[in-house]
Amino acid sequence: MELAYTKEEQEFREEVRAFLKAKLPADLARKVKESRISTRDDMMRWHRILYEKGWIAPAWPKQYGGAAWSIIERHIYDEEAAEAGAPAVAPFGIVMCGPVIMKYGNQKQKDFFLPRILSGEIVFCQGYSEPGAGSDLASLKTRAVREGDNYRVNGQKTWTSMARWADWIFCLVRTDVTAAKRQEGISFLLIDMKSPGIRVRPIVTMDGGAEVNETFFDDVIVPQANRVGEENRGWTYAKYLLGNERTSIGQVGGSKRELKKLKDIARREGMDKSRRFRDKVALLEIDLMGLELSNLRMIAGLRGGRDPGAEASIIKIKGSEIQQRITELAFEALGPSALPFQREALEEGWNGEIIGPDYAPPVAPKYFNMRKTSIYGGSNEIQHSILAKAMLGL
């Protein structure tokens, strides 16, 4: 793989920098750089700016309204956006559900959903995990029973990120309880969150936030026209989606930005004088460089038409571990100053007294929040099993 940037790629980097300088709202960049709490309005404001530029879906083909960027262009944008403090775009429509509809949906579904995902008119959330069916997703119990031209859906999903914000949910449901293999009786439904019978209950997590939720379905009527692909073939579509999700969990650009913040904290706290601490940071940076190269190789395969394979599990494992290690080292660098848990200090407009240095409040909440990265998208333990089976034949 050629690692030197061409003249055209360097010009593209300058174009990205100029765009971010001109169009990225200063208040959004400040929130990201200071790890402050962002709102749905913050996310959608940036979404609309990217949409107007034609950059909201870098990997989508132009026939569906995407930017159709090369692997290197996507990498360059991710680097520059993270460095500038651009908010993350909600991945559930752009990265996950959109590509599934493109590949497996019918024309009517493509015509309806894809333009609305791009514009932000429809924001998706993900209905996969259930109580007792997280890493072992194939054991899910949410039922969809056919009634004429509809399905009647009953069950529960959990850890539903952004469910209170979302307009629609893509859902794995069991449509055949007699299938010999559990994976063979699952279908992939698109469900309007305004449907009667849907109830959302927030889950307060260790960092004090409530981004994730429980979602309940009580006799929810869903048209069969909202099923993507064939009935009972949803597991195939789910695996394709999870491959795309796991690649996005790597967050190379974001980790580079957070690594700089870690080094800044270490300098302010005098931990850069500790040889042992410097060794930990150096090893972390080497691993991040390795993750970046692995991510580039995998995306190159995707651009060549290959589906995400077992390599996505490697990106997911290493990416989530690196994100966690950055927060652990930030906690270590701050020492006792990291102990006060002041999540309220990250809210816009808060004017209370900060205990410790002014850069301390985000450290504890971010540390707690990052505990989940090794679980969502398929726990790292499951990813190791996938690699052992797919790549080592074990």
* Beta carbons of 188 and 172 less than 8 angstroms apart: yes
The residues that bridge with 173 in the sheet, in sequence order, are: 187
**Quick count: other Cβ atoms within 10 Å of Cβ 296?**
16
Q: Where are the beta strands (DSSP E) in 110-180?
A: 124-127, 143-147, 150-157, 168-174
What's residue 197's pLDDT?
A: 98
What's residue 322's pLDDT?
A: 94
Q: What is the pTM (predicted TM-score) of this model?
A: 0.84
* Beta carbons of 301 and 368 less than 8 angstroms apart: no
In angstroms, the CA 153 to CA 193 distance is 13
In angstroms, the CA 252 to CA 245 distance is 14
What's residue 97's pLDDT?
A: 96
Q: Which three-class secondary structure state does DSSP give residue 113? A: helix
Q: Which three-class secondary structure state does DSSP give residue 16? A: helix
What's residue 379's pLDDT?
A: 78
What's residue 309's pLDDT?
A: 65
CATH number at 250-390: 1.20.140.10
Reduce the secondary structure of 274-342 to three states and give it as a string: CHHHHHHHHHHHHHHHHHHHHHHHHHHHHHCCCCCCCHHHHHHHHHHHHHHHHHHHHHHHHHHHHCCCC
Q: Which of 125, 187, 191, 131 is nearest to 156 (CA)?
A: 131
pLDDT digits (tens), the chain, 394 positions: 455 678 999 999 999 999 999 999 999 999 998 888 888 899 999 999 999 999 999 989 999 999 999 878 988 998 899 999 999 898 899 999 999 999 999 999 999 999 999 999 999 999 999 998 877 788 899 999 999 999 999 999 999 999 999 999 999 999 999 987 888 999 999 999 999 999 999 998 887 888 899 999 999 999 999 999 999 999 999 988 876 655 565 678 889 999 999 999 999 999 999 999 999 999 999 999 998 888 777 766 665 666 656 777 888 889 899 999 999 999 999 998 887 777 787 887 778 788 888 888 888 888 888 888 887 767 777 778 877 877 776 6
What's residue 133's pLDDT?
A: 81
Q: Which fold does the domain 7-89 belong to in CATH? A: Butyryl-Coa Dehydrogenase, subunit A; domain 1 (1.10.540)
**Quick count: other Cβ atoms within 10 Å of Cβ 39?**
11
C-alpha 305, offset from chain centre: 22
Overall CATH class of domain 124-232: mainly beta
Q: Give the residue extent of every domain in the chain.
A: 7-89, 124-232, 250-390
In angstroms, the CA 97 to CA 228 distance is 10
What's residue 246's pLDDT?
A: 52
